[in-house]
Amino acid sequence: MNAIILTGSIATGKSTVASLLKLYGYTIISADEIAHKKLVEYSNKIKEMFGTNDRKELGKIVFNDKSKRKELEKFLHPKIKEEILKESNRLEDYGVPYFLDIPLYFETGNYKEFKNIVVVYTPKEIQIQRLANRNNISLEEAQKLVNLQIDIEEKKQKATYVIDNSQNLKHLQKEVDKFINYLKK
């Protein structure tokens, strides 16, 4: 009831928005942090399934093989969701808004019980450029990574609220301030 999904796409600035929301005192449940814990917790099983439990190696495997990516998602996503729901139930008792930072919210389709969705938006061209710069990869590689996710324009259309991150950090801060005011109403 008090949960708000925070999502976007790779290199749209979702993590920066999550950090800003934390500065405002909001609690953030991070699906990525939970996923990292689950990778450690189930490292033996993952090594058995994929021949490695090294995150970088595993990333290469699932990036290049859609069936392996699906296999990993099928294994991890239910465990991640279980942890998110456990944390959400605990936070509901406080009766205040909190955020579920779920990068692949639309891609997984696993969280339909949550209705309030904030999308951090950056136009695709900027997204690709930021990703290439951030990860020190070619524009072509960045394009491939971006294309693994649902298009940001489609996510924007499905959002309850959109935080625009198409400019600089100062602009993003103003966008987050507007969102916080919207939340308070």
Residue 173: what pLDDT?
97
The pLDDT of residue 137: 95
- Cα distance between residue 2 and residue 12, in whole Å: 24
**What confidence tier does 3 reach under pLDDT thresholds 50, 70, 90?**
very high
Structure tokens at 117: 């969705």
Mean pLDDT (whole number) for 50-76: 90
At 64 the pLDDT is 84
Pairing state of beta strands 28-30 and 98-101? parallel
Read off the pLDDT of residues 103-138 as tens digits, 9 standing for 90 and up. Answer: 989 988 888 888 899 999 999 999 999 999 999 999
Is residue 63 predicted with pLDDT exceeding 90?
A: no
